Structure 1
């Protein structure tokens, strides 16, 4: 359903957006469509934030996001502008959606067809098929409630949820129940639990510290399905840029914002590349901590360093972008290597906060689906290992884990891979800091624990400066591309209300 309603500005306004990730581009597009003159300032050469791309040796690598879940969030955003996703890029539903490797000779393909997934669960644990249907039905309810009105609320105060009657629904959507406890009421087999809990490990926190509300992610992954934008996730970022530009947004890359100028509780301008730029308002979609601690004077900060030190962050990650000069037949598009203990890796990330001893990891092979991302007869690999934030990142550590992970990949594939790598580039915490000013090298933002959900996240609006708003993975609603898109929409609408006051 198309929705072309916008909060049209009553008078002209110039708005600056810091950061050209999904949150920043979304906010910019909405505000420009509403009549604002919007300029997006991006410190890097390309747009997309963590969804940037780069090319080398005939390969095209997505630098960050690779899972396309919650397709309705993207569609809903494009519909605001009277457009459809299909006007900008082609989506392909993957079958299998993903594969889980529990050992060299134990690989589970998770079918695109949900009933086939239920059959797989049933074959593993008698009764688990019907339990999965019930588990996912509950997840669908949470998705409808959580991804409907709830997730689009700015999180200013509890009154937002009282007016919606959502407090009454809190028990129904299990906001106060542990994800781990909830999952274990349905399933016993550790392999089934791994499939259910992996989105929480990769994008959240320990399952026992995450609200059962987030089984809505299982509904999206197992029932809605896993999609792939042909050409790679960079096509999605380019589509958001194009939509923003069509709405009147100007993008300025290689623009390093070094200071927000303020007066009497109001942002008056920015310093970019040593020049002053006047503005009527700012949306900060870059790292929240960086904007506060580096661009603002102490008296204008909403949160001090101690606040950030006490937050629970989702993982960072170590990444390897690999070009391989042959095909690897046993790999699927998405491959989860769960041949080590799930809980042990989670404890290393969240409790011990150390380099994992026996890590789980993920391999994306988009060339299995999309021939455009690799030369003919070759493979494009994206290898990701979740790690704790703030770890020392040195070349020797990268090298050690490269060989550890590739050794396990080769054992599964039954063939040499390292000897056929013709391009290799690594990426880790120091790169997240350098490229995105990411607090302690975080990759995904704040974990979705109960005390960091909705009103308990860093506020979308500055407590000290009335025309400074925030968007992105460190404020509402949370980590991931769909939440970042929603965050940009919320920030834009709240800022437009402010300008129209």
Structure 2
């Protein structure tokens, strides 16, 4: 039985471990931190619980496909609840739009906001569903080896979608700034500006309005635990507090890794850690990508996050609440064009205790706040405190309630933490942005061209950022191991 070491225990690594163990490999996962899940860890304090990383459960079919590959289903491990409403978006004081879990009600909302817009939305979502079926049933499971992976009858027929942006498409047909922001919002999960994201990615809008927003009971870490449970059922060994210092190579082939000064042999190594960091574990002659290469790439944002315990239930907010009361185009410039701290940031808040009592003691509220920021910018306690005060003041104003005197505690997480905990390049939170020049075969490769039996998985390679793409990336790399390992 051949031995495989997988570096990291995020969703891509856990996914890969299951597929490889299923094929008869002896698989060991080495996780740097004290708990599994990569970015999808959990924080607990004083009876409160917070998902440190992902909080959105979209594209449930991807999770179902994964578990089906092992004759399982998500409900074998965790319970899902469809959120109603899906989310709420604030634009001004007590002025918000609530996105229903019902498509008919969404059409009615659009029509009420802008006459005639529901007709366009139906056409837009029909195309988005078509794109989703092309993408999720076919394209995103490709290994990113060649442009030919993108060439099908359907993509050729709709090739202009790859050269026209989501922003161009939406703004040509919708005039309401509010509706524009709602339609452009889902592609932010891809880590790029809507103006730089091909309109083909409208399939994210189908994921939003068509498939809905879900909540796994107990939070996203329950999904991590499900993956770990399946992996261990299949024979995978998971080890925490394992700091991989070097990927060892002899005669152009990996022989294993050095962990905290000790050599661990392996026939095959798969790294689900940050791709840039993974290559720094190799001698320079074995690296495929230079520092110059990485510095020129468009990275998805980093985040300033706050985990807050309130001593009361909050009003006028939903489980997922977006605060779009400032200009995203200006904020986007501060993220992507001239990286700096935003003057008036948009922000997102999650209040999972509205839906799930396990997140907070009775009559209390657990809240996660997120401000998207440029990776690599200065991060210190003074800056964090300033932005915390900014968003709490805006939350109070927009939702017409006093909350600052109800804060029991807060914890923050930002660029320095992403670097420290995940060896994340410039402290990015979501990997490489899915722009046209960083799509599919134009992303860093899954197979090392310089070291035999070395493979990469995760959000810096195909298909891209997000939990569902990471799960898919794990399946792709397992197939590449089966085909290419020597």
Specify which of 279, 286, 310 is matched with residue 266 of structure 2: 279
Specify which of 65, 69, 94 is matched with residue 83 of structure 2: 94
Displacement of 1:200 after TM fit? 2.6
The reply on whether 1:469 has 2:455 as its aligned counterpart is: yes
In the alignment, which residue of structure 2 is the partner of 1:351? 337
Specify which of 299, 311, 319 is matched with residue 325 of structure 1: 311
- Contact 1:57–1:423 (CA under 8 A) maintained in structure 2: no
Question: SS at the partner of 2:88?
Answer: strand
- Contact 1:27–1:492 (CA under 8 A) maintained in structure 2: yes
CA 1:194–1:160 in 2, change beyond 3 Å: closer, same or farther? closer
In the alignment, which residue of structure 1 is the partner of 2:478? 492
Provide, for residues 64-90 of structure 1, a one-character-per-residue CA deviation record: whole Å limited to 9, x for no partner: 101111000000000000001111111
In the alignment, which residue of structure 2 is the partner of 1:8? none
TM-score relative to the length of structure 1: 0.95
Question: SS at the partner of 2:300?
Answer: coil
Q: How far apart, CA to CA, are the structure 1 residues paired with 2:52 and 2:192?
A: 23
CA RMSD of aligned residues (A): 1.1
Specify which of 162, 176, 186 is matched with residue 189 of structure 1: 176
Q: How far apart, CA to CA, are the structure 2 residues paired with 1:495 and 1:264?
A: 19
In the alignment, which residue of structure 1 is the partner of 2:120? 131
Q: How far apart, CA to CA, are the structure 1 residues paired with 2:158 and 2:469?
A: 20
Q: Which stretch shifts more, 200-209 or 389-398?
A: 200-209
Q: How far apart, CA to CA, are the structure 1 residues paired with 2:84 and 2:252?
A: 53
Specify which of 335, 343, 354 is matched with residue 368 of structure 1: 354
The reply on whether 1:46 has 2:32 as its aligned counterpart is: no
In the alignment, which residue of structure 2 is the partner of 1:305? 291
Provide, for residues 196-254 of structure 1, a one-character-per-residue CA deviation record: whole Å limited to 9, x for no partner: 11123354212111111111011111111100001010000100110111111000000
Q: How far apart, CA to CA, are the structure 1 residues paired with 2:154 and 2:437?
A: 17
In the alignment, which residue of structure 2 is the partner of 1:4? none
Consecutive unaligned residues in structure 1, runs of 5 or more = 1-11
Q: How far apart, CA to CA, are the structure 2 residues paired with 1:450 and 1:66?
A: 26
TM-score relative to the length of structure 2: 0.98
Question: SS at the partner of 2:339?
Answer: coil
Listed as ranges, the matches of 1:420-499 within 5 Å are 420-499=406-485
Provide, for residues 324-345 of structure 1, a one-character-per-residue CA deviation record: whole Å limited to 9, x for no partner: 0100121110000001112111
Q: How far apart, CA to CA, are the structure 2 residues paired with 1:486 and 1:47?
A: 19
Provide, for residues 160-196 of structure 1, a one-character-per-residue CA deviation record: whole Å limited to 9, x for no partner: 344x556524527x12221111112321111001001
Displacement of 1:498 after TM fit? 2.0
In the alignment, which residue of structure 2 is the partner of 1:152? 141
Displacement of 1:355 after TM fit? 0.3
- Contact 2:94–2:399 (CA under 8 A) maintained in structure 1: no
Provide, for residues 38-76 of structure 1, a one-character-per-residue CA deviation record: whole Å limited to 9, x for no partner: 000000000111110021010011001011110000000
- Contact 1:92–1:229 (CA under 8 A) maintained in structure 2: yes
In the alignment, which residue of structure 1 is the partner of 2:187? 200
Q: How far apart, CA to CA, are the structure 1 residues paired with 2:245 and 2:411?
A: 29
CA 1:288–1:166 in 2, change beyond 3 Å: closer, same or farther? farther
Listed as ranges, the matches of 1:189-338 within 5 Å are 189-293=176-280, 295-338=281-324
Question: SS at the partner of 1:445?
Answer: coil
Q: How far apart, CA to CA, are the structure 2 residues paired with 1:299 and 1:352?
A: 33
In the alignment, which residue of structure 2 is the partner of 1:3? none
- Contact 1:14–1:36 (CA under 8 A) maintained in structure 2: yes
Displacement of 1:474 after TM fit? 0.2
- Contact 2:189–2:466 (CA under 8 A) maintained in structure 1: no
Question: SS at the partner of 2:251?
Answer: coil
Question: SS at the partner of 1:319?
Answer: strand
- Contact 1:269–1:276 (CA under 8 A) maintained in structure 2: yes
In the alignment, which residue of structure 2 is the partner of 1:57? 46
Q: How far apart, CA to CA, are the structure 1 residues paired with 2:14 and 2:370?
A: 26
In the alignment, which residue of structure 2 is the partner of 1:5? none
In the alignment, which residue of structure 2 is the partner of 1:67? 56
Q: How far apart, CA to CA, are the structure 2 residues paired with 1:176 and 1:147?
A: 20
Consecutive unaligned residues in structure 2, runs of 5 or more = none
- Contact 2:41–2:221 (CA under 8 A) maintained in structure 1: yes
Question: SS at the partner of 2:137?
Answer: coil
Q: How far apart, CA to CA, are the structure 1 residues paired with 2:130 and 2:155?
A: 15
- Contact 2:190–2:464 (CA under 8 A) maintained in structure 1: no
Q: Which stretch shifts more, 152-161 or 52-61?
A: 152-161
Q: How far apart, CA to CA, are the structure 1 residues paired with 2:372 and 2:325?
A: 15
The reply on whether 1:400 has 2:400 as its aligned counterpart is: no
